[in-house]
Amino acid sequence: MNKQCGDVLFCSPTWLIHWIFCYWQPDWQLEVWVFVSNGELVALLPCYSQPLAANAKRRVLYPLGQGEPEECEVASEFVDLLILPAWQARLLPELANKINASNVTKITWRAISANASILHLARLLRFASIRGSGFRYKNCKQIDLTLSSQIKRKWQKILRYEHNKKAVFSWLRQDEAAVFWPELKRLHQLRWQKQGKLGAFSCNSFNAFHMALITQHPECCYMSVLTIDNEPAAIHYYLESAGCLHFYQAGWSATYASLSPSAMLHLWTAQHSHCANYDFMMGGNISYKQELGNAKEACYQLEVYFGMRAVMQVCLNTLKRMTGRYK
């Protein structure tokens, strides 16, 4: 089904089965809507619910792949309702009626791409709040990339380093990826810990998820590295799906900060990838990703509320946003 609807890795069994194995909790409940016509699967909404706070009777619906604790989340982005295009007009109202009649208190869904089917469904649900949450930045090979003069100077400098054998860009083989993972983790954690934060790699579930993905599905995992004077200056971890190389995680050495090693590795990897699109994934309205990319699309987050208490919450959230806007 996912292959017929864009073949996005974050909606695939490959990703979601590992997510369930690493994060599933006893008080979570699977909530899946399936539509079949003449034996053919035409729509699938794979979700689950968690208790809202300590109240088991009030539940929040999440898409599979989201809702794990923030400190160890794998950040599944662009998860979507899977539905064949020819069936949207007919099935979306019916699916909306079924969800409106369910015992769900709230729906939370984040990192939604601008053309996602879930946004069309959301407009048919009660008290849906759709808000912008940043942009998805890309470097597309068919579009010319314009770099700032500062980035150009650094790029020319690192190319001179490469010419003089002081710097080496390379892809890592699968066996090398397992070796470089601890170094990626170390470099990433050093930067975050200096800011007084734990960093994603501090969570065992996060590491277990990605090591399982790398070892069991190497066809969708890639790593590239920039070494300077035989020392790792930057290491990037990528995921591939649907003609996109998704930039997922990075670590870089402060020793080479003046060369912006991670930015240089972005440029090299985008040029040497076999994929047509280099996807920086989501970033804020102001992001280094915009400087290194040549295309962007808006992303959204969705909250849907049910019941009188939920209506009051929508009003309260709206007032909070308005108050903040006019301060």
Q: Per residue in 18-43, pLDDT tens?
A: 999 999 999 999 999 999 999 999 99
Task: Look at residue 280 and tell me if it is in a domain.
Answer: no
Q: What is the pLDDT of residue 313?
A: 65
- When divided into structural domains, the chain yields a total of 2
| Same domain, yes or no: 162 and 221 | yes
Q: Provide mean pLDDT across the span 264-292.
A: 94
Examine the pLDDT at 320 and tell me if it is beyond 80.
no
Examine the pLDDT at 272 and tell me if it is beyond 90.
yes
Range of the domain at 232: 143-275
| Same domain, yes or no: 43 and 102 | yes
Q: Provide mean pLDDT across the span 277-292.
A: 92
The 10s digit of each residue's pLDDT in 228-242 is 999 999 999 999 998
| Same domain, yes or no: 270 and 314 | no
Q: What is the pLDDT of residue 308?
A: 62
User: Are 22 and 10 within 8 A, CB to CB?
Assistant: no
Task: Look at residue 287 and tell me if it is in a domain.
Answer: no
Task: Look at residue 13 and tell me if it is in a domain.
Answer: yes
The 10s digit of each residue's pLDDT in 43-78 is 999 999 999 876 667 899 999 999 998 888 998 999
Cα–Cα distance, 121 to 51 (Å, whole number): 23
| Same domain, yes or no: 129 and 149 | no
Examine the pLDDT at 188 and tell me if it is beyond 90.
yes
CATH code, domain with 208? 3.40.630.30
Task: Look at residue 289 and tell me if it is in a domain.
Answer: no
Task: Look at residue 292 and tell me if it is in a domain.
Answer: no
HSE of 288, CA atoms in CB hemisphere, 13 A: 8
Average pLDDT, the chain: 91
Give Cα separations from 284 to 6, 26, 50, 133, 135 (angstroms).
25, 34, 28, 7, 6
| Same domain, yes or no: 90 and 183 | no
Cα–Cα distance, 104 to 102 (Å, whole number): 6
Task: Look at residue 286 and tell me if it is in a domain.
Answer: no
Task: Look at residue 293 and tell me if it is in a domain.
Answer: no
| Same domain, yes or no: 88 and 148 | no
Q: What is the pTM of this model?
A: 0.90
